Amino acid sequence: MRPVALVTLALVALAFPWAAEALGQSFYVSFASRLMIYAIAATSLNLVLGYGGMISFGHAAFVGTGAYVASIALVEGLASAWMAWPLAVIAAALAAWAIGAMSLRTRGVYFIMITLAFAQMAYYLVNSMKAYGGDEGLTLAHRAQIGLGLDTASEPVFYYVVLAFLALVLILLHRLSGARFGRVIAAIRDNETRAEAIGFPTFRYKLACFVIGGAVAGLAGALLASHGRYVNPGVLHWTQSGTLMIMVILGGVGRLWGGVIGAFVLLTLEHVVADYPMPWLSALAPNYQQHSALAVGIVLLAIVLFAPHGLAGLLARKGHARP
Amino acid sequence: MLVLERVLRRFGGLVATDEVSLEVRAGEVHALIGPNGAGKTTLVNLISGGLAPDAGTIRFDGRDVTRLTQHARVLAGLARSYQVTSIFRGFTVQENLALAVQARTGTSFSFWRPVARERALFDESGSLLADIGLEHKAHALAATLAHGEQRALEVGLALATNPRLLLLDEPMAGMGPEESQQVVALIERVRARVTVLLVEHDMDAVFRLANRISVLVGGRIIATGAPQEIRANAEVRRAYLGDELAA
C-alpha cells in the first residue's frame, strides 16, 4: 500500500470514534470494534490459508478457545486483560499445535475434513461444559480491564485497544511474509515436494505457521468475548469457520489486507441488508432482510468470477499475486 | 561415497527395485541407464529419501542414511533434480536459487528481518545463475521460462543446495539437441566439484559424460562398468542397448 493511502487510513481510523460521537452515531464505534476483531481473526486465517496454503476449515476452534479461556478467566476472578488475554493466546496456540500436529499429516480434502472434525469436537465440548453455561453461553459482568487509567467499558477506549492489536497483527504479518519464515511457507505453498527436496523440514514450518495463526485467532476470540461481554458455543460452530473463510476469499487470499477488507465488506453488507430497509428491493423480494446470506452469496460469486485475487487484488495497481 | 546394499522396494505385488546393490565413487559421473519401467526413478527416490525401502541399507559417506528424512539427506549433501520439472513457479529464477541457499544457511525460523536484505543469499545464487546460463532471466518468474530454461533451473536448484552427490533424474527430458548440449556442458563444468549419479536416456550424453555406467533392467542391476565394457556387454545389448545403439 502506498504511504499516502496508509497515512490517510490511519488518520481515519484514529479519528473515527471522535467523528462518530460528534455525529451522534456512537453505535458505530462498537460496530467498528467488532469489525476489527473479525479482521484480526480473518487475517490469522489468511496467514494459514493464504500465505501457508493450508485450507483449514476449523479456524473457529481457535477463536473459540481464545474466547472461552478469556471468559472463564474473567468469571474465575482474573479481571486483568494482561492475564486473561495472554492465557487465551497461549491456550489457542496449544490447541493449534495439537490439532495441527495431527491434521498436517494429511493433504488436500482430508486436511479440510479433519480440521473441520476437530473444530466440531471442540464445539460439542464447550456445549457440554455446564459449569460455564453449556449451550446457553457465558455472560461476563464486565470487559477485561487493561488498567493504565483506561476503562475498557468505554467504547472509544475499547476501539483503540482493538485498533492497536489489529495494527500490530498487520505489521507482524507484513514483516513475517518478507522474512525467511515467510519465504519458506510461500515456497511450501508453491511446491511442497521441492521445498523438502532442497532441505526444508516442511512439516515443522507448516506447523509453526498453523500455530501462529491459531494464537492470533485466540487473541481475536478474547477480544470478541470482552467486546460483547458474552460468549456462547456459536463462536466455535463450523459456520463461523466458513464465515472467516469467506472473508479471506472476498478480501484476497494471501494478501496483507485481505482479511481486513473481507471482514469490513462482509459485516457491513450484512448490517446494511439487515438494518436498512430498501423499498425497491422489498417490492422484488418481500422477505429479503431475513436472507442477508443471499446478498453475501451473490457478492461472493461476483468476486470469485471477476476478481480471483479478491478485493485487495482488485485495489492493488498490479493484479498479480506475488508470493 | 554412496553405497546401496540389497535395496528392495515393492509397490503392492510389483518389485520395483529388487535387491539393488550399487556403489557410486567420489568424483565420478556414474550413469544409470535402462529401459522405461526398469525402476530408475524409484531408485533415485529411494536414494534421495522421497521413498523408504522395504529392505536393504543406503550408506552415504560411510553413514547409514536409510532412515534419514529427505531434508536431512539434503543437508548431508545429497541433492536431486526431478524428471518432471519441479520448481517454484511463482518465484523468480533468482528467488528460486536463493531459497535453496537459504535452506542450508542457518535457521529459517526468522520472522522479522527481510530476506531482501540478506545479500549473501543473492550473491551465492548469482554465481549459480551463470553456471546454469540464466543470468539474463534472473528476475523472470520461473513459470514464464521456456521448457529448456526450466530444466536448467531444475538442475540449478539441486546445485544450489551445494551437494557432494548430485542425483540427476533425466535432466535432458524433452530437450532438443542444442539444449541437451547445454546440460552436458553444465555437467562438465560441475563434475570437478560434485559427484554425479546421472539417470538418462540420451546415450550420446551418457557415453560422453560417464566414468562408469550401471544398467538397470526389471528392477535389477545387470551390469556395472566403464562405458566400453557396457557397450561390449552381450547381456546389456540384448536387454537394452541393442535397439538404442542400432538406431
Number of domains in chain A: 1
Average pLDDT over residues B184-207: 94
- Chain B residue closest to A185 (CA)? B108
Q: Which residues of B touch A179 (CB under 8 A)?
A: 110-115
The helix-helix angle for A202-228 and A180-190 (nearest 10°) equals 110
Amino acid at residue number A175: R
**Residue A273 corresponds to which cell in the numbers above?**
441488508
Please indicate, yes or no, whether the overall pTM of this predicted structure exceeds 0.95. no
- At residue A9, the pLDDT reads 94
Q: Is residue A122 part of a domain?
A: yes
- At residue A170, the pLDDT reads 98
Judge whether residue A323 has pLDDT over 50: no
| Structure confidence by residue, pLDDT tens digits, B74-96 | 999 999 999 999 999 999 999 99
Residues 6+ apart with CB under 8 A from B24: B1, B2, B3, B30, B165, B195, B197
- Chain A residue closest to B45 (CA)? A197
- At residue B242, the pLDDT reads 64
Average pLDDT over residues A197-217: 97
Nearest by CB to B88, which of A178, A182, A194? A194
Residue B218's region, left for phi above 0, alpha for psi from -120 to 50, else beta, is left
Contact A201 B71 (CB under 8 A): yes
Q: Is residue A173 part of a domain?
A: yes
What percentage of chain A has pLDDT greater than the value 70? 97
Judge whether residue B170 has pLDDT over 80: yes
Domain of residue B165: give its range. Answer: 2-87+146-246
Spatial distance between the Cα atoms of B125 and B157, rounded to a whole number of angstroms:
10
Number of domains in chain B: 1
Q: Is residue A160 part of a domain?
A: yes
Judge whether residue A130 has pLDDT over 90: no
Contact B111 A175 (CB under 8 A): yes
Q: Is residue A286 part of a domain?
A: no
- At residue B243, the pLDDT reads 59
Q: Which residues of A touch B116 (CB under 8 A)?
A: 178
- Chain A residue closest to B142 (CA)? A190
Instruction: Tell me what ipTM this predicted complex has.
Output: 0.91
Domain of residue A170: give its range. Answer: 28-236
Q: In which band, very low, low, confident or very high, does the pLDDT at B155 lie, cut at 50, 70 and 90?
A: very high
Q: Is residue A199 part of a domain?
A: yes
CATH number for B223 = 3.40.50.300
- At residue A173, the pLDDT reads 97
Average pLDDT over residues A279-291: 72
Q: Is residue A174 part of a domain?
A: yes
Contact B86 A193 (CB under 8 A): yes
- At residue B245, the pLDDT reads 55
Contact A191 B104 (CB under 8 A): no
Q: Which residues of B touch A196 (CB under 8 A)?
A: 70-71
Q: Is residue A268 part of a domain?
A: no
Contact A187 B80 (CB under 8 A): no
Q: Is residue A114 part of a domain?
A: yes
Q: Is A191 on the interface with B (CB under 8 A)?
A: yes
| Structure confidence by residue, pLDDT tens digits, A108-124 | 899 999 999 999 999 99
Contact B99 A191 (CB under 8 A): no
Q: Is residue B126 part of a domain?
A: no
Contact B86 A191 (CB under 8 A): yes
